[in-house]
Structure 1
């Protein structure tokens, strides 16, 4: 019945409950860990089910309003600062209210995109192998490999490469010269670690243009990842190397040898959606919002409020913002849309298209002065006369 080592009668009782699968799994794990009698196990199962049923939302409860209040009220206590991420002093990541706004607005790119890259097997414990992954992730440009100078008399760009740096990053002078030729369309002359090239026709302007273009070429790594910080952390009871990046390219980093794709993550929910799908994006929204609140000491906000926000943002298969260009702007109610932003435009469009508002939501009923259709307000009572003669005959 189950992979867990619990008595058959207890397993049958757990399966008969209304608990969701994740909670059942947690219950099995707890019963297996603790040395409890069958009677105690039954009591625990009953107590968990009762607690679960008590915490379920009542019918017609305004869960959206409660969630908005539960997130918005502590949001007023949040700071507007940018904090260092996870103790990595070299990397700044937007936190607090700006980060929360970024998430609910579903911004295409965060102000400070970053990735947390976990490594697998020997890459996680061997420093040399870990650094190989670093050089495959971090964008290596020419200034990291050597010096650039211009010879105006001969109209040449001269590059003097550092041999130690080339060896460290797994490159050769021939590799660099070949990439320069491919990217810039010029003919290079290589002499050891020195490379020379120039414009086809003598031109000071073209010479400077070549230098500017040379600075932007990525010789190794991922173009969008500007910098990588490597740290040793205690994970799974052993010291493992973890990489923190400035800039993100989630799909590309997962293909690099040595990267643990099951744990690696980034703070761009759109990249996660594009790479792993809408369910992963929903989990990322929940995780990022909860982490932002916990960072501010507001971790006691119930995660179910965040789950509701994430569900609303992703239930159509795409990530939608909570604003006039997303959820609020696509509401069926004309008055609800008008109450949020750009009131006149919404009313004018609705009048032109002959839209009808059924007054089902909270906002529109408040506007027109009617009781809201929630809780007892959603119950219709009808009065009727009683036929007493028929009642007596019965």
Structure 2
């Protein structure tokens, strides 16, 4: 006899009440998918116990240098992209949207990207040829091709605002690879999600396995202030209060000169500042304060 949804939901809520709501919801969905008479209550409890154990063991310890780990985890595979980029010389529609150059465009939050592309999903309400003709007439669209198997139109060039106005276009699934355009039209959350998906897809297409949590950290850093900022001195580093941190990043002399004139004080709270001053950093074994008392 199959278990009812109410029974499974109650069991999951009781066993996984300390875990995030998204994990509980996904667990209920999976259990309902594989719900059959052979799935006993005891087996369900074992699965839930395993989920809870995996979650607890995957948590980051307080004081871990997650930024350094993310930089290493993304930087090392990127060196492989440099070697592979030369193999795609002459390709016009495929790998031109990926590779190291595209990664740089994303993390630098480039406004005018070299190869703007759109993936336009049709809703089936109109003839694809009619929609294709209208899309080809949109300003900024250089080339549009209809993929009959997927029911999708791929374009060279991008104009998301105008494309979304065309009847027959699925506005919820149509997207562009221009992060700035997504930010302006769909908002910061959509831009953050696009950064995550595009970076992850680039690494996957190159056969490079990268933990998506490192990419999520990069996306959060770029969008945490409510707008997309590049990982550069004119982006996320621009508003850093630490003089030494900005000095250690780029334009050392000019930053140090202006800080001295203005009489700025550095409180030495970050990693760079402490390394320059020869003080133990507040990470790893240098982090000795109690962050959370665990109950055993």
TM-score normalised by structure 2 residue count: 0.89
Aligned to 1:113: 116
Q: Which of 167, 171, 189 is the aligned partner of 1:279? A: 189
Identify which range, 244-253 or 360-369, moves more after superposition: 360-369
In the other structure, the counterpart of 2:51 is: 48
Match of 1:97 among 96, 100, 103: 100
Unaligned runs of 5+ in 2: 291-296
Distance 1:375 1:301 in 2: 23
CA distance in 2, matches of 1:92, 1:8: 44
Aligned equivalent of 1:323, options 229, 232, 255: 232
Are residue 226 (structure 1) and residue 131 (structure 2) matched?
no
Q: Deviations over 1:7-27 (max 9, x none)?
A: 35414325x522222222221
Aligned to 1:57: 60
Q: 1:6 to 1:260 in 2, by over 3 A?
A: farther
4+ long deviations beyond 6 Å: none
Superposed CA offset, 1:275-320 (max 9, x none):
111000000000010011111111x211011101100100111100
How many residues get paired? 281
Tell me which residue corresponds to 1:38.
Answer: 41
Q: Secondary structure at the match of 1:330?
A: coil
Q: Which has the bigger relative contact order, CA under 8 A and spacing at least 6?
A: 1
2:294 maps to what in 1?
A: none
C-alpha distance in structure 2 between counterparts of 1:332 and 1:316, whole Å: 15
Structure with more strand by fraction: 1
8 Å contact 2:121–2:153 — kept in the other structure?
A: yes
Distance 2:156 2:111 in 1: 16
Cα 1:264/1:5, change in 2 over 3 Å? farther
Residue-by-residue CA offset, 1:145-199 (whole Å, 9 max, x unaligned): xxxxxxxxxxxxxxxxxxxxxxxxxxxxxxxxxxxxxxxxxxxxxxxxxxxxxxx
* Cα deviation 1:36-85 (Å, max 9, x = unaligned): 2111111111211111111111111111111111111111111335959x
| Conserved? CA contact 1:5–1:32, under 8 Å | no
* Native 8 Å contact 1:83 1:94 kept in 2: no
TM-score normalised to the size of structure 1?
A: 0.67
Structure 2 CA distance for aligned equivalents of residues 83 and 288 of structure 1: 19
* Structure 1 gap segments, 5+ residues each: 124-128, 139-220, 234-239, 382-394
Query: Are the structure 2 counterparts of residues 71 and 92 from structure 1 closer, same or farther at C-alpha, using a change threshold of 3 Å?
Result: closer
In structure 2, C-alpha distance between the alignment counterparts of 1:346 and 1:352, rounded to whole Å: 10
Larger CA Rg, structure 1 vs 2: 1
